[in-house]
Structure 1
Amino acid sequence: MTQARKFFGGGVAVVTGAGAGIGAGLARYAAGTLGMTVVLADVDGASIARLRKELEDGGAQALDVVCDVRDPAALEHLAERTRTEAGPVRLLVNNAGVEQFGYLWDTPVENWERLVRINISGVFHGIRAFLPDMLAHPGQSWVWNLSSIGGVSTAPLQAPYIMSKHAVLALTECLHQEVELSGHAGHVHIQAVLPGAVASDIFETAGGVRSGDVTAAEEQRSAMLHIKAQAMDPVRAAEVLFSQAAEGEFYLMTQPAFVGGAMAARGDSLTRRAAPALPVGGRLQPAY
């Protein structure tokens, strides 16, 4: 038995943004390999219904709940259905997220607000809805908040997304301290997930700009799509993350050398108090 199956096997996992990408990969691995009951949450009801059927056809137990993480009441509803239909949560994955391309001054206000409400407030709402019960329950449990390699780096033409991932990382680091301060660190484990390139549709569905330098925004989208073919399989990414989580790591990285290199570079630039520099080759710098 692997350490991951020892800790997570048989428990309940709740995954927001489970309809595609790394969210779906985490759900597939949790259900198919670890034997977890998986609660699939997403605004795309058709996608999570298909995934639930796939998991159930494979012998797993799953529940799909349409949920918009921008709405705190929707997260409360998700938590209530999980309590009554699945049981105590062993793993909460606050994963739902969206991208945005373009110069910051060209970004539509509604795109900015949508991204902030999903990428940042969605994590907060998930914590508010689920964490109190997890703290009260005596069993071991885990909270994973999805940051990104973008949470420890910078990139032009993706400022809203990068900002949001820095925010999620800081939120998670503070939450880790608060759980320890409140005396719950022995049974509730807070971990930050920093994916590198993992296959997903986030770039296709990303917001763009309607005016200003539309070309720059779409060139950045194209650059990100170009590397998608070399991105990591989401189920393989899930395997790596679960293994690190079981080992007690705080920073969970899909590609430890790549993401770790970005962390080291960030630390070095802060130590030197160096202004952010454009990447070699120009403005089209991948960030995930």
Structure 2
Amino acid sequence: MSSAKELFGGGVAVITGAGAGIGAGLARCAARELGMTVVLADVDTAAIAALRAELEEIGTRAIDIACDVRDPAALERLAERTITEAGPVRLLVNNAGVEQFGYLWDTPVANWNRLVEININGVFHGIKAFLPRMLADQGQSWVWNLSSIGGVSASPLQAPYIMSKHAVLAITECLYQEVELAGHAHHVHVQAVLPGAVASNIFESAGAVEHGDVAAAEEHRTAMLRIKAQAMDPVEAARTFFHQAAAGEFYLTSQRFVGDAMATRADILAHRRAPVLLSDEFAVPAE
């Protein structure tokens, strides 16, 4: 079995949502430990500029590019600039995402639309812009789409986010099959990333509700922030993803309990059981 450094080392990684959290952790791991050139894409230009400077200080190459994944033209520009300035893409990570708390019926329409545009449309725009170039290049390359433990489970008070991560997982599973059907599976590898509890600022920046049960939305935010206090470091999570990717796995998970959630979901569907509201749903299981 090849190591992650053997497969990814020296290549170019493009990471959307690279300014913080899992995106930044992936960038740090790819650059520091695998020697990859990293293209940092985000709407937070200050964050990716600071990360670029950090990575350049240790002698790795990084390029920061402002990119709003809601705009397909921005992804096309990102792809063109990446190839021009860095070369063919070894790894595309469609990572950019946002959260939303509150009862579904209280969710502002604008917040729903924004989440769909970033979490779902952003993945599609990334695939649309980069994958044809990766298919044509014939070099070994990987596409990682960020789903979540939420992509194989259900949770109240964050239905828009959960829905989006189910959608990303379905997109990725279909894309895997389509790449194989089109005869490119020997050089383009599609994988789904399902983080469990990994430290980020997604809960602090999550959308809120303006009307209805505002207290319930904010109580849920507080509960999710308790998870952050116990969460895995993003660089450690990135190492795990790279190791599993090098082993040829399709579902890349950060912690064992993500696999437990997958098994629970399969059992629920197999036995056609209704979702169960769990009182301890916010607990992070010990590894």
Q: TM-score range by the shorter chain?
A: over 0.9
Aligned equivalents of 2:190 and 2:270: distance in 1?
Answer: 27
Alpha-carbon shift at residue 2 of structure 1 (Å): 6.7
Paired position in structure 2 for 1:161: 161
Alpha-carbon shift at residue 226 of structure 1 (Å): 1.2
Paired position in structure 2 for 1:94: 94
The 3-state SS of whatever aligns with 1:151 is helix
Gaps of 5+ in 2: none
Paired position in structure 1 for 2:201: 201
Q: Does 1:225 align with 2:215?
A: no
Note if contact 2:32-2:55 (Cα within 8 Å) is conserved in structure 1: yes
Paired position in structure 2 for 1:152: 152
Note if contact 1:223-1:286 (Cα within 8 Å) is conserved in structure 2: no
Aligned equivalents of 2:131 and 2:226: distance in 1?
Answer: 38
Paired position in structure 2 for 1:61: 61
Alpha-carbon shift at residue 229 of structure 1 (Å): 1.3
Q: How does 1:1-288 map to 2 (within 5 A)?
A: 3-255=3-255, 257-281=256-280, 285=282
Q: Which amino acid aligns with 1:279?
A: L
Note if contact 2:147-2:165 (Cα within 8 Å) is conserved in structure 1: yes
The 3-state SS of whatever aligns with 2:15 is strand
- Identity %, equivalent residues: 75
The 3-state SS of whatever aligns with 1:65 is strand
Alpha-carbon shift at residue 202 of structure 1 (Å): 0.1
Note if contact 1:172-1:190 (Cα within 8 Å) is conserved in structure 2: yes
Aligned equivalents of 1:187 and 1:246: distance in 2?
Answer: 13
1:31-63 Cα distance to aligned partner (Å, 9 max, x none): 000000000000000000000000000100010
Gaps of 5+ in 1: none
Alpha-carbon shift at residue 286 of structure 1 (Å): 6.7
The 3-state SS of whatever aligns with 1:14 is strand
Report the RMSD for the aligned CA atoms in angstroms.
1.2
Q: How many residues align?
A: 284
Q: Which amino acid aligns with 2:165?
A: K
The 3-state SS of whatever aligns with 1:89 is coil
Alpha-carbon shift at residue 280 of structure 1 (Å): 2.9
The 3-state SS of whatever aligns with 1:206 is coil
Aligned equivalents of 1:184 and 1:61: distance in 2?
Answer: 29
1:6-33 Cα distance to aligned partner (Å, 9 max, x none): 0000000000000000000000000000
TM-score by length of 2: 0.97
TM-score by length of 1: 0.97
Note if contact 2:3-2:246 (Cα within 8 Å) is conserved in structure 1: yes
1:235-265 Cα distance to aligned partner (Å, 9 max, x none): 000000000000000000011x200000000
The 3-state SS of whatever aligns with 1:7 is helix
The 3-state SS of whatever aligns with 2:90 is strand
The 3-state SS of whatever aligns with 2:92 is strand
Aligned equivalents of 2:153 and 2:99: distance in 1?
Answer: 16
